[in-house]
Amino acid sequence: MAISRIHPFFLLLLLRAFALFPTQAAARGGHDLSGLFLPSFPFCEMSGLGARFNEAMVPFESLGAFPICVEAVGLVSAGDLRRLQIREEMARGYMSNAELEIAVHAFASRCSNISRIYSIGKSVNDFPLWVIEISDKPRQREAEPAFKFIGNVHGDEPVGREVLMHLANWLCDNYPKDPLATLIVENMHLHILPTMNPDGFALRLRGNANNIDLNRDFPDQFFSVNNDINYRQPETRAIMNWVKQEHFTASASLHGGALVANYPWDGTKDTGKRYYGCPDDKTFRHMASVYSQSHYNMSLSKEFEGGITNGAFWYPIYGGMQDWNYIHGGCFELTLEISDTKWPKAAELPVIWEHNRMSMLNLLASLIKSGVHGRIFAADTGRPIPGSVTIKGIDSKVRASRTFGDYHRIIVPGDKYEVMASMEGFRPKSTRIVLEQEALNLDFILDPDGADGQLKLRNDGCRCGNDMMFHVQEAHIWLYLLVLCVLLTFYLVFKRKTASRLLAYRYSPRRPVAV
């Protein structure tokens, strides 16, 4: 039988059968309302009254729990379809992708003295992923920490894209008048990606245009299903390349659907739901608490103690962006749920911004006002080197940048630490510190290997051991002594002649002086 002749009633029964298949687990910020998606059918469409199947209109009230097919959306339940309609109403007052792009360029023009914009790639539907960089020297690399904010990871959680534009404009409007704005602009490089998923926002979907949840698309430490980079979504690859190019110290992604600061690990080895902390668990708890306690009411949560949670303890996910940043980028990332509603009314956005403003600012300032910062140099050349820094007792390392050899290690203040710098080809060095409430500057000068009896290849190709090195050093010492003796001889001769002249002058007849 041709599809065009299928009776709507039998079509509904057929589609209902597909709905019996299980859907994916819920994601950070609430449950996935999209359900099981299938390719859209050309013979069904959505209207304000219900769903139309081959010219037969089926009102929403008659659909009950039957799934229906909606063009460009897929297979969703009737309840979800109602929510899709509600989202269209809720989207009023939010910037469209085109309006957001205009706003980003307008900001760059208005605040050109402290900003620049650039694109890290494009979405599935070729929309540029625009980034705003804010710094007093936005077009230069400096030995300063870098932080990135990412919004709209999920297309149906758009509050982050609006709040991040509020943050950018606040910094521009208050620099250099406000001390906190000045501290951030002049001492770090802030990168803001308002929307990671513009296609999902346009389609009012959680996933991207390929209906992939981007927060499940990153390579995972426990499961290898996402390890093939060629099969990652373009938005995911853009983030991965971005992290490799920039030297990010920390970051945060903004979501909606809860009110909590989430930190690694996001999953467990056996997929069990329990607390599973990463090596820097203490530091992540501190970072999450900085955000929560600065928030209007996040720390008062009855569901999450102190307004913070370990991801695996909340519910495990795999392929998340947060864990990937920490493992592969040395970037300490939080997942911030900043509104109870996934898609709050536009009229509520100014209030949500105010509730999160000090949290965002204090999180940024904490990178500057606490932790250990410094540079790593080579003793033989005096040049900076891209070594790594570790803390005794913490199984993780932070790499220094290639340009300046600068590192920025976030650790909890008020404790004692042993900090070690190392790099291949150099001897590691360590020192003990007491980190008070303020940041500590600590530079390392590493000696190259070569004084341990091993042979080293010089530029002229000569293989010189310790014996030959000793003879070379001894020859240099004798040369220095010979030069010193010659200089001393000249000095004595000069002094003797000068003394003779003074004696002759003293006993010669005095000459008259003209007045």
DSSP string covering 108-150: HHHTTTSEEEEEEEE-TT--EEEEEEESSSTTS--SS-EEEEE
Domains located in the chain, CATH noted? 92-369 (3.40.630.10), 372-448 (2.60.40.1120)
CA 116 to CA 132: how far, in whole Å?
6
- Catalytic status, residue 235: no
Q: How far apart are the first and last CA of the chain?
A: 135
Single out the residue of 410, 411, 433, 421 nearest to residue 388, CA to CA.
Answer: 421
Report pLDDT for 494: 63
Q: Give every residue of the chain whose pLDDT is below 70, as ranges.
A: 1-84, 86, 451-480, 493-515
Report pLDDT for 66: 31
The encoded tokens of residue 8 equal 């709507």
Report pLDDT for 225: 92
Single out the residue of 333, 257, 263, 353 nearest to residue 29, CA to CA.
Answer: 257
Report pLDDT for 182: 98
The 3-state DSSP class for residue 292 equals helix
Report pLDDT for 482: 73
DSSP per-residue string spanning 18-31 = HTTSPPPPPBTTB-
Strands (E), 9-70: 44-46, 50-53, 56-59, 68-70
Which of 101, 133, 162, 337 does the annotation list as catalytic?
A: 337
